[in-house]
């Protein structure tokens, strides 16, 4: 069995788990997130790109600041935990 914990950024983590200032591709979102059309209009959708700018507070965050395709939004931590992402690899 492989130990993927050696990599600082392993595929398919949630937005709440990923480090700041790294670009990620949105792989999936829960039905609760998809039902909130406001976020989808801003770019929070499967196949979109996101970058975590900050978590507030840093320990046990209640919300996160995101950059989504040229939009800046605040997202509750409960929703961020329901969005799976993978890192964008530079070629």
Q: Which residue has the higher pLDDT, 1 or 79?
A: 79
pTM above 0.85, yes or no: no
Assigned superfamily of 11-87: Ferrous iron transport protein A (FeoA) (2.30.30.90)
Q: Alpha-carbon distance 26 to 43, whole Å? A: 10
Whole-number pLDDT of residue 3: 45
Whole-number pLDDT of residue 79: 93
Q: Alpha-carbon distance 9 to 22, whole Å? A: 10
**Tens-place pLDDT, residues 2-43:** 444 444 555 679 999 999 998 999 999 988 888 888 888 888
Name the residue ranges covered by the structural domains of the chain.
Answer: 11-87
Q: Alpha-carbon distance 49 to 29, whole Å? A: 13
- Which of 69, 53, 61, 73 is closest to 16 using CA atoms? 61
């Amino acid at each position: 069995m492989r130990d993927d914990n050696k990599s600082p950024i392993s595929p398919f983590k949630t937005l709440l788990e990923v480090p700041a200032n790294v670009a990620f591709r949105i792989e999936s979102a829960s039905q609760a997130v998809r039902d909130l059309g406001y976020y989808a209009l801003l770019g929070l959708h499967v196949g979109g790109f996101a970058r975590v700018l900050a978590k507030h507070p840093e320990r046990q965050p209640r919300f996160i600041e995101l950059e989504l395709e040229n939009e800046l939004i605040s997202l509750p931590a409960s929703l961020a935990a329901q969005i799976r992402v993978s890192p964008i690899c530079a070629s």
